[in-house]
């Protein structure tokens, strides 16, 4: 790596920063391509599919909770919920403990779609993982966790 950096006239650190940036950009592009494929396969925009995924292990969520988890405005969540409700995937229910709050829950159709998308994600991630030598997987996952932690740490300084 030092030889490559010297040939290009940059320091090893500069080379590594550029390489990290390029790799992350390529991985994000792969994820975006998968989102386009998912939209075509499941007939849902990415925001709606992501909203459904938030119900995993949850019976009901509020608009406020969904907005926080998706990091969008409550007005944007309301539109997403409206579209999912039109498709018969979610239902709105009054909160028995607080009349000011509306609970959002999955319908049977929404639950089935969430499970279908989840199964697709498990399958596609398995296909990626199985392309990596079994002896190298543990180390790769460990390094990805370190990368994620470093990214989260830097993100916290940006606020």
- What does the pLDDT look like over 22-67, one tens digit per residue? 999 999 999 999 999 999 999 999 999 999 999 999 999 999 999 9
Are 64 and 4 in the same domain? no
Terminal Cα distance for the chain, rounded: 34
CA quadruple 95, 80, 50, 53: dihedral sign:
positive
Are 133 and 87 in the same domain? yes
Give the position of tokens 């939209």.
39
pLDDT score for 159:
77
pLDDT score for 3:
61
pTM of the predicted model as reported, rounded to 2 decimal places:
0.78
Task: Tokens for 21, please give them.
Answer: 């940036």
The segments of the chain whose pLDDT lies below 50 read none
Residue-number span of the structural domain to which 104 is assigned: 47-157
pLDDT score for 116:
95
129-151 core/surface letters (b: 16 or more CB in 10 A; e: else): eeeeeeeeeeeeeeeeeeeeeee
Are 61 and 125 in the same domain? yes
Q: Work out how many domains the chain is built from and give that number.
A: 2
Are 16 and 34 in the same domain? yes
pLDDT score for 73:
94
- Asked if 73 contacts 64 with a C-beta cutoff of 8 angstroms, the reply is no
């Amino acid at each position: 790596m030092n030889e490559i950096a010297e040939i290009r006239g940059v320091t090893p650190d500069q080379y590594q920063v550029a390489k990290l940036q390029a790799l992350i950009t390529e991985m994000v592009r792969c994820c975006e391509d998968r989102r386009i494929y998912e939209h075509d396969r499941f007939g849902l925009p990415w925001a709606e599919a992501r909203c459904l995924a938030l119900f995993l292990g949850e019976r009901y969520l509020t608009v406020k909770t969904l907005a926080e988890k998706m990091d969008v405005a409550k007005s944007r969540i309301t539109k997403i919920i409206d579209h999912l409700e039109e498709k018969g995937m979610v239902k709105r229910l009054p909160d028995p403990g607080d009349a000011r709050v509306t609970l959002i829950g999955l319908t049977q159709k929404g639950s089935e779609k969430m499970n279908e998308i989840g199964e697709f994600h498990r399958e596609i991630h398995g296909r990626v993982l199985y392309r990596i030598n079994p002896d190298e997987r543990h180390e790769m996952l460990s390094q990805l966790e370190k990368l994620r932690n470093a990214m989260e740490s830097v993100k916290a300084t940006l606020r």
